[in-house]
Structure 1
Amino acid sequence: MQIPENKHRSQKATLSKPNDSDFQLRAIAYSMDALVPGLYIWLGTIKIRLGGSLPEDNYPGTIHSQAGIAMVLPNYRIFSTYQGNYDP
């Protein structure tokens, strides 16, 4: 008995360098800028994003700070140590 080839395999979306520190900082900036609920922590090369969203491919923003913490609540309230802008 032959097993038919599975032509409907799910494919994972490929991201450009998902472990790249700049990509992760951009994801945090995008999530904070768009007020996507989550907890965001960045400290040098350590980036933690609990919740949030991946940035759009054409999103140029970043965070101009070496360390910070932010929390965005579901009712669009943001509490953050970061007071700068997200422009490149």
Structure 2
Amino acid sequence: NVPRWAVGPSLVMVGVLMMGVVKDIRWGETKEAVTAFVTILLMPLTYSIANGIIAGIGIYLALSMYDIVSGFATWLNGVRKRMMKEHNQVSSDATVEVV
């Protein structure tokens, strides 16, 4: 069994190494920044690395689903406009008789 005083320095070193990656996060991109922030914040607050990572993955999926749904809605709106345009056009075969 490893004594507690021997585990502390190794945990501090792991934390320092994990924080070294923070400089590579693109903080200008909302999806990446929010995901990283939530992950970093929840790890010490929940005393669990796994809970922080799971929360980060959940936030990323939620933000990605918003992008997917909004993209699908835009595509669907374009299809609807094209269908309405084709439906509303007068056929070129029709002739008008003037009496």
TM-score range, shorter chain: under 0.3
Higher strand share: 1
Higher helix share: 2
User: What is the TM-score normalised by the length of structure 2?
Assistant: 0.21
User: What is the TM-score normalised by the length of structure 1?
Assistant: 0.23
Which has the bigger relative contact order, CA under 8 A and spacing at least 6?
Answer: 1
